[in-house]
């Protein structure tokens, strides 16, 4: 993903402005990874003006599509009251969902590794 390349400087110079430019395009088109990254960019003010309301908006879009990064970002927003009204119950719900999805992803990666080992 082009936005990730600019974020970490993979094959290109690290450039948050370029990352934000391409991230907005992808996020608006519904790319769930780009939506989560855009939430982070707005939360931290990287390549875009810092805007916690906009960050929460993009975290929510990603979270509702099952993005672990979006769920964790939205949970943190509720926990700290950044861009949304502080709500510990919603923070707990989103943190729990993110943790559950994280464990599921780890389990699936482990299964993939086991299968790959057996195929050698």
At residue 106, the pLDDT reads: 57
Sign of the CA dihedral 8, 12, 15, 16?
Answer: negative
How would residue 27 be classed by pLDDT, with cut points 50, 70 and 90?
confident
113 vs 4, which has greater pLDDT?
A: 4
Sign of the CA dihedral 84, 90, 95, 101?
Answer: negative
At residue 120, the pLDDT reads: 42
- Long-range pairs of 54-60 with CB within 8 A, sequence gap ≥ 24: 54/83, 55/82, 55/83, 56/82, 56/83, 56/84, 57/83, 58/27, 59/35
CATH assignment of the domain containing 17: 1.25.40.10
Sign of the CA dihedral 102, 105, 107, 110?
Answer: negative
Please give the average per-residue pLDDT across 19-32, as a whole number. 82
81 vs 40, which has greater pLDDT?
A: 81
pLDDT above 70: residue 24: yes
How would residue 79 be classed by pLDDT, with cut points 50, 70 and 90?
very high
How would residue 116 be classed by pLDDT, with cut points 50, 70 and 90?
very low
Domain count, the chain: 1
Domain coverage including residue 84: 2-119
How would residue 22 be classed by pLDDT, with cut points 50, 70 and 90?
confident
């Amino acid at each position: 993903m082009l936005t990730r390349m600019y974020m970490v400087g993979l094959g290109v110079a690290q450039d948050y402005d370029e990352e934000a430019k391409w991230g907005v395009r992808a996020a608006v088109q519904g790319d769930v990874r780009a939506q989560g990254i855009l939430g982070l960019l707005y939360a931290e003010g990287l390549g875009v003006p810092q805007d916690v309301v906009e960050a929460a908006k993009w975290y929510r879009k990603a979270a509702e599509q099952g993005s672990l990064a979006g769920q964790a970002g939205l949970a943190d927003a509720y926990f700290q009251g950044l861009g949304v009204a502080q709500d510990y119950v919603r923070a707990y719900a989103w943190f729990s969902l993110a943790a559950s999805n994280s464990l599921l992803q780890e389990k699936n990666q482990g299964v993939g590794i086991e299968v790959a080992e057996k195929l050698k």
